[in-house]
Amino acid sequence: MAKINLETVRGMRDFLPEDELLRQELLEKIKKVLETYGFSPWNAPVLEYEALLKEKSVESKLIFKFKDQGGRDVVMRPEKTPSLARIIGSNPNLPKPLKLYNIDRVWRYDRPQRGRYREFTQCDIDIIGVANSMADAELLACTSAVLRAIGLEKFTFRINSRALMNELLENAGVSKKQVKRTLRIIDKIDKIGADEVAKELRKLLSSESVNDLMTLMKARGSWYTISKAIKICDKTREPIEQFLVCLEDFGIKNIIFDLSLVRGLDYYTGLVFEVDAGEDVGSVAGGGRYDKLIGVYSGQDVPATGLAIGFERLLEVLNAKKVKTKTKVYIIPIKITSKAVEIAEKFRKAGINTDLDLAARDLRKNLDYANKMEIPFVVFVGEKELSQGKIKLRNMQNGSEDLLKVEEAIENLKRH
């Protein structure tokens, strides 16, 4: 029999209990904040028809795609915004505004590296049916609250506008047909650097246009300083300035306006944003306004704005303490298994996470196991304790022991 390869598929990972417990703990914190802000959960199939994503999603070479047994072209979702747009488009009578969140996996055939995998969890936050900048500002306020709730304190919101960039590109001599392609190239600036971006742009544009654009890309800082140095129409300017006023209302001050930020997806129409956690980390979240995407599927435009938090990158940044188990009590029977089972069930019915020795190991091995698993309490169930109508509860952190009735032990554990 051939030896089976036990490695995970490249770019995929297994999660042992200590990893998965940490992930679930952080995800619960995120959900709690999102629901505090009035967001409700949604979900969709892992598989979508390939046609749903054409020209409205990530690059084709990054998509896991195949033909199903019926010969249909399907993909494993590389992101969730097209799925959400499809849902909204096919349910036009849903009451709006809708404030929605989704925390689930996506797949991209990307080059695996630190903090980047081919299967990863994304936390998506979207507001559907609101055209004004208050929705964009609340997205950032909610994201700020999420990041602080899970322990990330130092981060900056980078802000720009696709409507602004479209106008600036046209002013720089870029034809309307070349705007999307130009923006995709500019979006690579953080990955390949300014020199490589300029080299790619020269294949597409005149040297004069490229020089003008590379000068623009260096503009970072206060919007009011940048806006004095560029010429744009009021229709482009007003949403940006309304957005900045709304951010002040929400108390968001850690912002920087950055003309090099464009976001590579074609469906963005207005404000775009990323969360920068510093040079060593980079972006941990990003998104923007996509007012035309739902209309692509339904024929009727619906204003929308959204943001995705990269959960895997955050886990690496936080380097949070892992826990090996959520078990609070480990029961060790000393030759009296049936009574130990009865006591374990009483603990569980009282809402206390309880495990029980099932392997009939000796006392030393059981205590070693409890220590390795970092279980905080152990209960000994033996003839001596039961003859007094009691059990022995040991605190594994300080070694103290108490002889207690089962009900007393339950109350003691609940206090902890």
Give the 3-state secondary structure of the chain: CCCCCCCCCCCCCCCCHHHHHHHHHHHHHHHHHHHHCCCEECCCCCEEEHHHHCCCCCCHHHCCEEECCCCCEEEECCCCHHHHHHHHHHCCCCCCCEEEEEEEEEECCCCCECCECCEEEEEEEEEECCCCHHHHHHHHHHHHHHHHHCCCCCCEEEEEEHHHHHHHHHHCCCCHHHHHHHHHHHCCHHHHCHHHHHHHHHCCCCHHHHHHHHHHHCCEECHHHHHHCCCCCHHHHHHHHHHHHHHHHCCCCCEEEECCCCCCCCCCCCEEEEEECCCCCCEEEEEEECCCHHHHHHCCCCCEEEEEEEHHHHHHHHCCCCCCCCCCEEEEECCCHHHHHHHHHHHHHCCCCEEECCCCCCHHHHHHHHHHCCCCEEEEECHHHHCCCCEEEEECCCCCEEEECHHHHHHHHHHC
The CA-based angle 118-119-123, given to 5 degrees, is 120
Quote the pLDDT of residue 297.
83
Q: Is residue 11 part of a domain?
A: no
What share of the chain in percent tops pLDDT 70? 98
Q: Do 273 and 374 have their domain in common? A: no
Quote the pLDDT of residue 283.
86
Q: Is residue 159 part of a domain?
A: yes
Q: Is residue 10 part of a domain?
A: no
The yes-or-no verdict on residue 55 having pLDDT over 90 is: no
Q: Convert the pLDDT of each residue in 125-160 to its tens digit.
A: 999 999 999 999 999 999 999 999 988 888 999 999
Q: Do 145 and 251 have their domain in common? A: yes
Of 257, 287, 318, the one marking the end of a domain is 318
Q: Do 365 and 335 have their domain in common? A: yes
The yes-or-no verdict on residue 264 having pLDDT over 80 is: no
What's the domain range around 354?
329-415
**What's the whole-number mean pLDDT along residues 60-83?**
92
pTM across the whole model: 0.82
Question: With bands split at pLDDT 50, 70 and 90, how would you rate the model's confidence at 111?
Answer: confident
Q: Do 24 and 155 have their domain in common? A: yes
Q: Do 359 and 387 have their domain in common? A: yes
- 362: domain CATH number is 3.40.50.800
Mean pLDDT lowest among 203-217, 224-238, 275-289? 203-217
Q: What is the number of structural domains in the chain?
A: 2
Q: Do 28 and 47 have their domain in common? A: yes
Q: Is residue 361 part of a domain?
A: yes
**What is d(CA 6, CA 179) in angstroms, rounded to the nearest whole number?**
47
Q: Do 120 and 218 have their domain in common? A: yes
Q: Do 150 and 85 have their domain in common? A: yes
Question: With bands split at pLDDT 50, 70 and 90, how would you rate the model's confidence at 161?
Answer: very high
What are the Cα distances from residue 4, in Å, to 13, 14, 16, 323, 337? 17, 17, 20, 31, 39
Residue type for position 403 = L
Of 270, 294, 318, the one marking the end of a domain is 318
Q: Do 364 and 220 have their domain in common? A: no
First to last CA, the chain: 53
What length does the chain have?
416
Q: Convert the pLDDT of each residue in 322-373 to its tens digit.
A: 778 889 999 999 877 788 999 999 999 999 999 999 988 999 999 999 999 9
Q: Do 149 and 194 have their domain in common? A: yes
Q: Is residue 242 part of a domain?
A: yes
**What's the whole-number mean pLDDT along residues 222-227?**
90
Quote the pLDDT of residue 136.
96
Quote the pLDDT of residue 199.
83
User: For residues 278 and 377, which has the higher predicted lDDT (pLDDT)?
Assistant: 377
Mean pLDDT lowest among 74-78, 215-219, 316-320, 338-342? 316-320
Q: Do 359 and 301 have their domain in common? A: no
Question: With bands split at pLDDT 50, 70 and 90, how would you rate the model's confidence at 394?
Answer: very high
Q: Is residue 339 part of a domain?
A: yes
Mean pLDDT lowest among 98-112, 209-223, 389-403? 209-223
Of 318, 340, 371, the one marking the end of a domain is 318
Q: Is residue 89 part of a domain?
A: yes
Quote the pLDDT of residue 112.
81
Question: With bands split at pLDDT 50, 70 and 90, how would you rate the model's confidence at 57?
Answer: low
Quote the pLDDT of residue 320.
65
Q: Is residue 174 part of a domain?
A: yes
Quote the pLDDT of residue 348.
95
- 214: domain CATH number is 3.30.930.10
**What's the whole-number mean pLDDT along residues 379-399?**
91
User: For residues 211 and 95, which has the higher predicted lDDT (pLDDT)?
Assistant: 95
Q: Do 164 and 309 have their domain in common? A: yes
